Amino acid sequence: MVLQITPQANPAGQLLLLDEPMNSLDVAQQSALDKILSALCQQGLAIVMSSHDLNHTLRHAHRAWLLKGGKMLASGRREEVLTPPNLAQAYGMNFRRLDIEGHRMLISTI
């Protein structure tokens, strides 16, 4: 994985925008990037990131926006946004939210 984040280029910057940064990364690379992003958050940087990986969002996001056709369906805490009814409205299919050994996950129930 090659990733370059250079906060020195804009030392006053307080926001990092990422478009699907987990795409094409294997699970080890995703974990490494998660650690980097977590460290940046700990330093006070705000991160806004787009993702189609519902389970990654459910595990790592503090807040979420759920969009459909460019319109916002829901926004708020991840637990409030990533609900089976909201996801059914966004994707036109049914979902279940599971808790397995303390790990939350979403599955479609077509």
65-105, pLDDT tens digit by residue? 999 999 999 999 999 999 999 999 999 999 999 999 999 99
* Domains held by the chain: number: 2
Q: Is residue 106 part of a domain?
A: yes
Residues 95 and 44 placed together within one structural domain of the fold: no
**Which residues span the domain enclosing 38?**
14-50
Q: Is residue 88 part of a domain?
A: yes
Q: Is residue 6 part of a domain?
A: no
Bridge partners for 64 per DSSP: 76
Q: Is residue 62 part of a domain?
A: yes
pLDDT of residue 4: 61
pLDDT of residue 3: 59
pLDDT of residue 110: 76
pLDDT of residue 60: 93
Q: Is residue 9 part of a domain?
A: no
User: Could you give the CA distance from residue 60 to residue 37 in angstroms, rounded to a whole number?
Assistant: 10
28-63 residue pLDDT tens: 999 999 999 999 999 999 999 999 999 999 999 999
Cβ atoms within 10 A of the Cβ of 95, count? 20
Which among 101, 92, 99, 100 has a CA at the least distance from the CA of 109?
A: 92
Please state the pTM of the whole predicted model. 0.82
User: Could you give the CA distance from residue 4 to residue 80 in angstroms, rounded to a whole number?
Assistant: 33
